[in-house]
Amino acid sequence: MAKINPIQVQKYLKGMRYPASRDAVIRKAEESGADERILGALQKLPETEFSSPNDISQALGKVA
């Protein structure tokens, strides 16, 4: 899998309210039109609460 650009992911999560669960992050990305590659990466995130966009970027770096 090609590395996911965290800045690109954050475009799809604009307006996200934190803390947010993994499912809420995926739902927001889907609603914002994220492609399958980004959604697939988000689905690999741990089932946890994310406190900020930075938390999501760090988690993506570990799973990608």
Render pLDDT for 6-64 as a digit per residue (tens, 0 to 9): 899 999 999 999 999 999 999 999 999 999 999 999 999 999 999 999 999 999 988 86
Residue 20 makes CB contacts below 8 A (sequence gap 6+) with: 28, 49, 50
> How many structural domains compose the chain?
1
Decide if 18 is inside a domain.
yes
Structural domain that includes position 39: 6-63
Decide if 1 is inside a domain.
no
Q: Residue 1: pLDDT above 50? A: no
What CA–CA distance (Å, rounded) separates 2 from 52?
24
pTM of the model: 0.91
Decide if 36 is inside a domain.
yes
Q: Which helix (H) or strand (E) holds 57?
A: helix 53-63
Look at residue 9 in the predicted model and tell me its pLDDT.
Answer: 94
What CA–CA distance (Å, rounded) separates 45 from 64?
9
Specify the DSSP class assigned to residue 50. Answer: E
